[in-house]
Amino acid sequence: MSADGGTQGGETRIIRTDYLARVEGEGAMYVRLDGRTVEDVKLRIYEPPRFFEAFLRGRAFTEAPDLTARICGICPVAYQMSAVRAMEDACGVTIDEGPLRDLRRLLYCGEWIESHSLHVYMLHAPDFLGYPGAVEMARDHAGIVEQGLQMKKAGNALMAVVGGREVHPINVRVGGFYKAPTRVQLRTLLEPLERARETALATVGWAAELPFPEVERTPELLALSDPDPGSYPIDRGRIRSDAGLDIAPGEFDEHVVEEHVEHSNALHARLRERGSYLTGPLARYGLSHAQLRPLAREAAGEAGLGPLCTNPFQSIVVRAVELVQASDEALALIEAYEEPDAPAVEVTPRRAVGHGATEAPRGLLYHRYEIDEDGTILDARIVPPTSQNQLAIEEDLRAVVERDLDLPDEQLSLRCEQAIRNHDPCISCATHFLELTVERG
Amino acid sequence: MSADSNQTPAKQTSAKQTLAVWKFSSCDGCQLSLLDCEDELLALADRLRIAYFLEATSAVAEGPYDISIVEGSITTPHDAERIREVRRQSRTLITIGACATAGGIQALRNFGDVAEFTSIVYASPDFISTLSTSTPISAHVPVDFELNGCPINKVQLLEVIGAHLAGRRPRVRGHSVCVECKRRGTVCVMVAHGTPCLGPVTHAGCGAICPAYDRGCYGCFGPMESPNTAALSARMAELGSEEIDLVRVYRTFNAGSAAFREASEAHEHEPAGGAPA
């Protein structure tokens, strides 16, 4: 980062950070100030396009989970789960109960644990404690980093047993799995997951004590809502918002429009009715606080979190609460697991359109496919959480810059970067090269 | 390479080698594999100086770098320039993953019309700057070592880095997945169950996971050292694979590798992306 001179109050100031570190992928941010007025805020995404929706055309419906997993190495399970749900929807198959659904939720818990541990400890915590990264942080806080790594390892172990490996699991298929794990295999995960749960509980308390800038933001929150009142949303349900949206995944297309703007290679999603919205941990927590497992809800309460968290900087606490949720749920699923009669149900293609929406660690991930009667994909649409959150992130940036106008350039830059990291943008789902520029005119 | 693994401790601390990790067009999964080394990461950070690794740290040290690890493929004019600069700054350049070694899944564009692809995904294609191909790093600059996999295997990654530090060749064998199945004691899914499997032509390294989970290998580690794809395709056809299936099976994450590209083209009798029969 470099600060190119200048003082506040009318003179031109340009603050520039050439790369935003500790996000998945690379992109740029641009803020222009005229005096004390924020004129323009842009989260710029330079992701070289990879054309997934285009080359999915002509492929077999059974290939979608493995192909779309490659959109993101951090959340491949999310892509696989939204893809299989969409294909099953198209083919008239529902896997909403029983051991196959439990295994899917279990695998998804592994991804939440792995991804949230990575973000809380390695990407986000260094912002609060003043380090460039977790490796540097480990020199002074070895125990903290080590426990984060061990929790991450438990999530990865779960993905490796159920999915076959941590990154781009191989065991997921339309209709279920290629091979269901045995009870004995799953029980080997009990001990590391119990330790992960302990660590997650400690993490909630630790994260709650971090120094938070006082920022209040109330974007429209959008997330899945599980029909079971005792179930936090992960893999199914209607799409709801706190402003009254309540739709089936099949209606997503009618309500969410994507725009292509010049400063970004990721499409900007907005609600047709009201504009920007936020998806991800803050949205899930705000909409489904009552559906958290008791252990997670109590941990949130003890940490002083109400049923709604309006400070985006506290998303680190909410992620920690979701770590409790995911590890506690994984343990319960393993304890109750009965091996299925068959690892998958038969899914016969037909000419149809199918929709799938699930909760990636970063938020709602929507897939829609049109397939031919022989299962050939005719059309595909994929809306990742980060393209939905871009506008809300830009609005956060605006709020943070307006609040912290008087900070020196370098600190303001760091604060802006932190504000972006609050939402764990998965820029590889969307970005290439992030350049942070604050221009003051 | 003349680095000696038995250097004195004093020398090790005063002259730690520097590591840089670079991203091009990719999913981030391969560099994540480095952060997935939960038990080894801090020890590795002790042994090497992480000089550039944006996914992990905002601290950036100037080059040149002793070891550069490169993820991703080249898909834009800007990246074609950037990889040359990375090469100039790097004593040893190691590519990791199918994108960097074969162009990745995004190399499927090499078989289609990019202008049409762009218009399918983006409403305003004029905003998009992209090359018509996705190419591996070795198509642009000399590469010292290529590690296969979509994603790579983190144990192999540690072996490659460790071997570099020890000044020896990495023990990464070029034989097929079949050897790994035999070592693992997995019954052959193709012989026993008639399941089409790319194992015989696919580079080892994953540990033969798919057959152990009752599915055929789908080739995510790319071609092995001497792949006989014609023989395998003939056998898969006998087992019921149709021509379009044979095109698809070779045309995934390593579609841009010479062996898999030729194997897929041998079965393509319609225009690229054409409708099935």
CATH of residue B92's domain is: 3.40.50.700
Least confident of A157-166, A347-356, B120-129, B214-223: B120-129
The answer to whether residue B125 scores a pLDDT higher than 70 is: no
- Show residues of chain A in contact with B42, CB under 8 Å: 135, 138, 142, 145-146, 149
Please give the structure tokens belonging to residue A279: 């998806």
**DSSP assignment letter at B106:** G
Q: Could you give the percent of chain A with pLDDT greater than 90?
A: 75
Mean pLDDT of A199-216: 97
Cα–Cα dist A416/B24, whole Å: 25
Looking at per-residue confidence, does B124 or A278 come out higher?
A: A278
The minimal CB distance from B150 to the residues A52, A168, A374 is found for: A168
Cα–Cα dist B207/A45, whole Å: 36
Taking an 8 Å cut-off on Cβ atoms, the answer to whether A73 and B274 are in contact is: no
Taking an 8 Å cut-off on Cβ atoms, the answer to whether B28 and A72 are in contact is: yes
Mean pLDDT of A322-349: 98
Same-domain check for residues B141 and B220: no
pLDDT band for B270, please (50, 70, 90 cuts). Answer: low
pLDDT of residue B274: 44
Q: Which residue range is the domain that position A139 belongs to?
A: 52-389
pLDDT band for A13, please (50, 70, 90 cuts). Answer: low
Looking at per-residue confidence, does B55 or B277 come out higher?
A: B55
The minimal CB distance from A73 to the residues B28, B50, B56 is found for: B28
Looking at per-residue confidence, does B187 or A4 come out higher?
A: B187
Mean pLDDT of A208-214: 96
Which of helix, strand or coil describes residue B125? helix
List the single residue in A with minimal CA-CA distance to B25. A48
Cα–Cα dist A408/B60, whole Å: 21
Please give the structure tokens belonging to residue A63: 């290939």
Same-domain check for residues B183 and B106: no
**Could you tell me the CA-to-CA distances from A111 to A225, A338, B86, B142 in Å, in that order?**
19, 22, 32, 36
The residues in A 353-412 lying below 8 A from B, measured between CB atoms, are 372, 374, 376
The minimal CB distance from A73 to the residues B32, B59, B212 is found for: B32
Please give the structure tokens belonging to residue A161: 């047993």
pLDDT of residue A428: 59
Q: Is it true that the peptide bond before A126 is cis, omega within 30 degrees of 0?
A: no
Name the nearest CA neighbour of A138 among B116, B185, B207, B41: B41
**Sign of the torsion angle spanned by Cα atoms B217, B222, B227, B232:** positive
Domains identified in chain A, total number:
1
Give exposure, A110-122, as e/b (b: 16+ Cβ within 10 Å).
Answer: bbbbbbbbbbbbb
Dihedral pair phi/psi, residue A43, rounded to 5°: -90, 110
Looking at per-residue confidence, does A173 or B54 come out higher?
A: A173
A92 — contact with chain B (CB < 8 Å)? no
Which of B24, B30, B34, B57 has the highest number of chain A CBs within 10 A, making it the mutation to test binding with A? B57
Q: 3-state secondary structure string, A429-441?
A: HCCCCCCEEEEEC
The answer to whether residue A289 scores a pLDDT higher than 70 is: yes
Mean pLDDT of A37-64: 85
Looking at per-residue confidence, does A240 or B120 come out higher?
A: A240
pLDDT of residue A188: 98
Same-domain check for residues B121 and B11: yes
Give exposure, B138-158, as e/b (b: 16+ Cβ within 10 Å).
Answer: eebbebebbbbbbbbbbebbb
pLDDT band for B12, please (50, 70, 90 cuts). Answer: very low
pLDDT band for B276, please (50, 70, 90 cuts). Answer: very low
Dihedral pair phi/psi, residue A365, rounded to 5°: -120, 115
Q: Could you give the percent of chain B with pLDDT greater than 90?
A: 78
Looking at per-residue confidence, does B173 or A6 come out higher?
A: B173
- Show residues of chain B in contact with A24, CB under 8 Å: 28, 32, 55
- Show residues of chain B in contact with A73, CB under 8 Å: 26-32, 151
pTM (2 d.p.): 0.92
pLDDT of residue A139: 94
Same-domain check for residues B26 and B121: yes
Same-domain check for residues B152 and B192: no
pLDDT of residue B131: 80
The answer to whether the CB of A316 falls within 8 A of the CB of A120 is yes
Same-domain check for residues B144 and B193: no
Q: Which residue range is the domain that position B78 belongs to?
A: 3-166
Mean pLDDT of A59-72: 96
Cα–Cα dist A285/A308, whole Å: 7
Q: Are strands A436-440 and A13-17 parallel, antiparallel or unpaired?
A: antiparallel
Please give the structure tokens belonging to residue A347: 């899914």
Task: Report yes or no on B91 lying in a domain.
Answer: yes
Looking at per-residue confidence, does A322 or B57 come out higher?
A: A322
pLDDT of residue B15: 80
The minimal CB distance from A132 to the residues B59, B117, B124 is found for: B59
Looking at per-residue confidence, does A296 or B6 come out higher?
A: A296
Cα–Cα dist B104/B73, whole Å: 7
Q: Are strands A13-17 and A28-34 parallel, antiparallel or unpaired?
A: unpaired
Q: Could you give the percent of chain B with pLDDT greater than 70?
A: 86
N- to C-terminal Cα separation, chain B: 55
Task: Report yes or no on A90 lying in a domain.
Answer: yes
Same-domain check for residues B111 and B38: yes
- Show residues of chain A in contact with B23, CB under 8 Å: 25-26
The answer to whether residue A59 scores a pLDDT higher than 60 is: yes
pLDDT band for B120, please (50, 70, 90 cuts). Answer: low
A54 — contact with chain B (CB < 8 Å)? yes
- Show residues of chain A in contact with B108, CB under 8 Å: 51, 55
**Could you tell me the CA-to-CA distances from A296 to A230, A320, A436, B272 in Å, in that order?**
12, 9, 36, 51
The answer to whether residue B76 scores a pLDDT higher than 50 is: yes
List the single residue in B with minimal CA-CA distance to A149. B38
Q: What residue has token string 């950037």?
A: B82
Domains identified in chain B, total number:
2
Least confident of A12-16, A126-130, A220-224, A311-315: A12-16
CATH of residue A192's domain is: 1.10.645.10
Taking an 8 Å cut-off on Cβ atoms, the answer to whether A170 and B273 are in contact is: no
Mean pLDDT of A309-313: 98
Least confident of A202-216, A268-282, B179-193: A268-282
pLDDT of residue B206: 97
The answer to whether the CB of A6 falls within 8 A of the CB of A12 is yes
Taking an 8 Å cut-off on Cβ atoms, the answer to whether B58 and A165 are in contact is: no
pLDDT of residue B162: 95
Cα–Cα dist A55/B105, whole Å: 9
Same-domain check for residues B45 and B123: yes
pLDDT of residue B6: 41
For residue A395, the distance in angstroms to the closest alpha carbon of chain B comes to: 23
**DSSP assignment letter at B171:** -
The answer to whether the CB of A23 falls within 8 A of the CB of A126 is no
The answer to whether residue A310 scores a pLDDT higher than 50 is: yes
Dihedral pair phi/psi, residue A387, rounded to 5°: -75, -25
Q: 3-state secondary structure string, chain A?
A: CEECCCCCCCCCEEEEECCCCCCECCCEEEEEEECCEEEEEEEEECCCCCCHHHHCCCCEHHHHHHHHHCCCCCCHHHHHHHHHHHHHHHHCCCCCCHHHHHHHHHHHHHHHHHHHHHHHHHHHHHHHHCCCEHHHHHHHCHHHHHHHHHHHHHHHHHHHHHHCCCCCCCCEECCEECCCCCHHHHHCCHHHHHHHHHHHHHHHHHHHCCCCCCCCCCCCEEEEECCCCCCCCCCCCEEEECCCCEECHHHHHHHEEEECCCCECCCEEEECCCECCECCHHHHHHHHHHHCCHHHHHHHHHCCCCCCCCCHHHHHHHHHHHHHHHHHHHHHHHHHCCCCCCCECCCCCCCEEEEEEEEECCEEEEEEEEECCCCEEEEEEEECHHHHHHHHHHHHHHHHHHHCCCCCHHHHHHHHHHHHHCCCCEHHHCCCCCCEEEEEC
CA of residue A395 relative to chain centroid, distance = 18
What are A79-107's pLDDT values in tens digits? 999 999 999 999 999 999 999 999 999 99
pLDDT band for B240, please (50, 70, 90 cuts). Answer: very high
Same-domain check for residues B158 and B26: yes
Taking an 8 Å cut-off on Cβ atoms, the answer to whether B248 and A66 are in contact is: no
A–B: how many Cβ contacts below 8 A? 201
Taking an 8 Å cut-off on Cβ atoms, the answer to whether B38 and A166 are in contact is: no
Task: Report yes or no on A283 lying in a domain.
Answer: yes
Q: 3-state secondary structure string, B46-94?
A: HHEEEEEECCCECCCCCCCEEEEEEECEECCHHHHHHHHHHHHCEEEEE
For residue A156, the distance in angstroms to the closest alpha carbon of chain B comes to: 8
Mean pLDDT of chain A: 90
The answer to whether residue B5 scores a pLDDT higher than 50 is: no
Report the complex ipTM: 0.91
Please give the structure tokens belonging to residue B97: 């993953």
N- to C-terminal Cα separation, chain A: 20
The answer to whether residue A235 scores a pLDDT higher than 80 is: yes
Least confident of A51-60, A354-363, B124-133, B248-257: B124-133
The answer to whether residue A36 scores a pLDDT higher than 90 is: no
Please give the structure tokens belonging to residue B96: 């990791």
The answer to whether residue A200 scores a pLDDT higher than 90 is: yes
Cα–Cα dist A161/A191, whole Å: 14
Mean pLDDT of chain B: 89
Residues in chain A: 441
Task: Report yes or no on B272 lying in a domain.
Answer: no
pLDDT of residue B132: 82
Task: Report yes or no on B65 lying in a domain.
Answer: yes
Please give the structure tokens belonging to residue A19: 């790369």
Taking an 8 Å cut-off on Cβ atoms, the answer to whether A58 and B206 are in contact is: no
Tally of CB atoms within 10 A around B254: 30
The answer to whether residue B105 scores a pLDDT higher than 50 is: yes
Taking an 8 Å cut-off on Cβ atoms, the answer to whether B59 and A142 are in contact is: no
pLDDT of residue A273: 84
The answer to whether residue A9 scores a pLDDT higher than 80 is: no
**Could you tell me the CA-to-CA distances from A287 to A384, B178, B264 in Å, in that order?**
20, 50, 48
The answer to whether the CB of A363 falls within 8 A of the CB of A224 is no
pLDDT of residue B90: 98
Name the nearest CA neighbour of A282 among A250, A315, A239, A254: A315
Which residues partner with A223 through β-bridges?
Answer: A240
A281 — contact with chain B (CB < 8 Å)? no
Return the biggest CA–CA distance within chain A.
72
Looking at per-residue confidence, does A177 or A402 come out higher?
A: A177
Which of helix, strand or coil describes residue B239? coil
Name the nearest CA neighbour of A355 among A72, A36, A71, A91: A91
pLDDT of residue A259: 77
The answer to whether the CB of B101 falls within 8 A of the CB of B136 is yes
For residue B163, the distance in angstroms to the closest alpha carbon of chain A comes to: 22
For residue A304, the distance in angstroms to the closest alpha carbon of chain B comes to: 30
A118 — contact with chain B (CB < 8 Å)? yes
The minimal CB distance from A374 to the residues B41, B121, B276 is found for: B276
- Show residues of chain B in contact with A51, CB under 8 Å: 106, 108-109, 114, 117-118, 120-121
- Show residues of chain B in contact with A118, CB under 8 Å: 32, 35
- Show residues of chain A in contact with B269, CB under 8 Å: none
Same-domain check for residues B101 and B196: no
A146 — contact with chain B (CB < 8 Å)? yes
Q: Are strands B48-53 and B17-23 parallel, antiparallel or unpaired?
A: parallel
What are A379-417's pLDDT values in tens digits? 999 999 988 998 999 999 999 999 998 999 889 988 998
Cα–Cα dist B221/B253, whole Å: 8
Cα–Cα dist A8/B269, whole Å: 67
Task: Report yes or no on A441 lying in a domain.
Answer: no
Task: Report yes or no on A399 lying in a domain.
Answer: no
The answer to whether residue A304 scores a pLDDT higher than 60 is: yes
